[in-house]
Chain A
Amino acid sequence: MIEIENLHKSFGSLEVIKGIDLHIRPGEVVCIIGPSGSGKSTVLRCINRLEDATSGRIILDGSDLSDPATNINQVRAEATMVFQGFNLFPHMTVLQNVTLGPVKVRRMSKEAADALGIELLQKVGLAEKAGSFPDQLSGGQQQRVAIARALALRPKAILFDEPTSALDPELVGEVLEVMKQLAREGMTMVVVTHEMGFAREVADRVVFIDQGIIQEENTPDELFGNPQNPRLRDFLGKVLSHG
């Protein structure tokens, strides 16, 4: 589904990602954890090509992202993104936020897109907010709309970039619940997160990134229960004692 080979990414002289290999299988839920500034979000942004990789290859559903012949817009729609800051379009209603992609990218008719939009809003529990504007919603509701927007392209995978980090603590649960439901339905998901409980419960595989490389990857039980890498142990010691 997503194959990352020897990914390097530098910003100026600062090398943020120093050679990452990661293969994500269809239907797999992979959580990426690690300290701030370790490059986890950058990996995600390279998959969506919001950042261009400095070197290495990313193959998304058979399309090579570094190949200039690849239609990046169509490929992007196969792995849509949910952002930390929601990034809903404030001048559009909730429903318009969800249907923009299907109409403009997938060339769906407005009627079909509206029907799909309502269906997806029902799925995230917000059908009654279809006509509202984003600034009338709570953060948790906005993020659920953003998930519906990402789903509306019928992507092969969804990339979550710290989806609950900007939320008030009492709103985190409703967003994680929607994500768990997606995971149960077999959606391929790559989730950069600080929610260790979510990673432990939902992930098929957890990847620990620090200093620009994958330090350890394993099933959640093994990774959390029996961490090998000293950096991982140190990291888990810090986050779990607060959790």
Chain B
Amino acid sequence: MGFTFEWQVMLETFPLLLSGVKLTIIITLGGLFFGFIIGAVTGLMKLSRSRFLRKLAGIYVESIRGTPLIVQVMFLYFGVPMATGLRITPVAAGIIAIAVNSGAYIAEIVRGAVQSVDVGQTEAGRSIGLTRIQTMRYIIWPQAFRRMIPPLGNQFIISLKDTSLLVVIGVAELTRVGQEIIAVNFRAFEVWLTVGIVYLMMTLSIAKVLQMTEERLEKRSAR
């Protein structure tokens, strides 16, 4: 075998990964920001009275959920520019891919949370003369939003890990940076272990923040 584990490599690797961590975070936050907007709009479209809007939202959600993210990424970065002549940077493609992908899952989160609010709340809102939009904005959405927080946190963790797939289009995120380090020092064991630990630190932090948010909300609603 002849393998000796070298602590030193892990310690050296860690600071080199920071630029990748930064890009991973930027792409995740950017992707989820737009993903939430897409998801909120699509989720509400799924609840629309218009059959057309419901169908349209359904096609989007099913196409995204039914295809691998890596195919979506490559289609977006290599396929779309070929057809349209528009070139985008790998980072922009990464953010768009995460947004479009998470949007489909967030749409289902939004739809489920809105539907879980008791129909009596809508009736009470309408009965005092609020319009459909006012009822959604002041009564249903605030209640639904609280229920979205746990599944949204979950999606946050999933999307963060998904950014590692952007390695295929050359985005210098965490996984890519790890690969580049190995190309130089050939210490696959130590470097991938470090990369894994860094991902774990990020996802555990999100989980912790999520747990604290939930506890605060629970305290507020139990009072």
Contact with B along A61-104 (1 / 0, CB 8 A): 00000000000011011001101010111110000000011001
Does A193 sit at the interface, judged by CB under 8 A?
Answer: no
Does A50 sit at the interface, judged by CB under 8 A?
Answer: yes
B129 touches A73 (CB 8 A): yes
Number of interface residues of B (CB under 8 A): 20
Contact with A along B78-99 (1 / 0, CB 8 A): 0000000000000000000000
State A35–B165 Cα separation when bound (angstroms).
Answer: 63
Given A83-B120, A89-B124; A101-B223 close (CB under 8 Å)? no
Number of interface residues of A (CB under 8 A): 27
- Give residues of chain A (95-146) contacting chain B, Cβ–Cβ below 8 Å: 100-101, 104-105, 133, 135-136, 146
Which residue, of A73, A88, A133, has the highest number of chain B Cβ atoms within 10 A?
Answer: A73
State A101–B124 Cα separation when bound (angstroms).
Answer: 10
Which residue, of B123, B127, B130, B221, has the highest number of chain A Cβ atoms within 10 A?
Answer: B127
Does B205 sit at the interface, judged by CB under 8 A?
Answer: no
Residue of B nearest to A90 (CB): B143
Q: Smallest Cβ distance from A162 to chain B, in angstroms?
A: 13
Please indicate the chain B residues that have their CB under 8 angstroms from the CB of A85 in the complex.
Answer: 120
Contact with A along B117-159 (1 / 0, CB 8 A): 0101101111111110010001100110010000000000000
Residue of B nearest to A81 (CB): B127
Does A42 sit at the interface, judged by CB under 8 A?
Answer: no
Please indicate the chain A residues that have their CB under 8 angstroms from the CB of B134 in the complex.
Answer: 104
Does A153 sit at the interface, judged by CB under 8 A?
Answer: yes
A105 touches B123 (CB 8 A): no
B128 touches A153 (CB 8 A): yes
A74 touches B124 (CB 8 A): no
Please indicate the chain B residues that have their CB under 8 angstroms from the CB of A135 in the complex.
Answer: 221, 223
Closest 6 CB pairs of A and B: A77-B129, A87-B124, A101-B128, A105-B129, A81-B127, A87-B120
Give residues in B with beta carbon < 8 Å to A: 118, 120-121, 123-131, 134, 138-139, 142-143, 146, 221, 223
6 other A-B residue contacts (CB within 8 Å) besides A83-B124, A89-B121 = A76-B129, A80-B128, A87-B118, A87-B123, A136-B223, A150-B127
Name 8 A/B residue pairs within 8 A (Cβ), A-sorted.
Answer: A73-B131, A77-B128, A81-B123, A89-B121, A90-B221, A105-B130, A133-B223, A146-B124
Give residues in A with beta carbon < 8 Å to B: 48, 50, 73-74, 76-77, 80-81, 83, 85, 87-91, 100-101, 104-105, 133, 135-136, 146, 149-150, 152-153
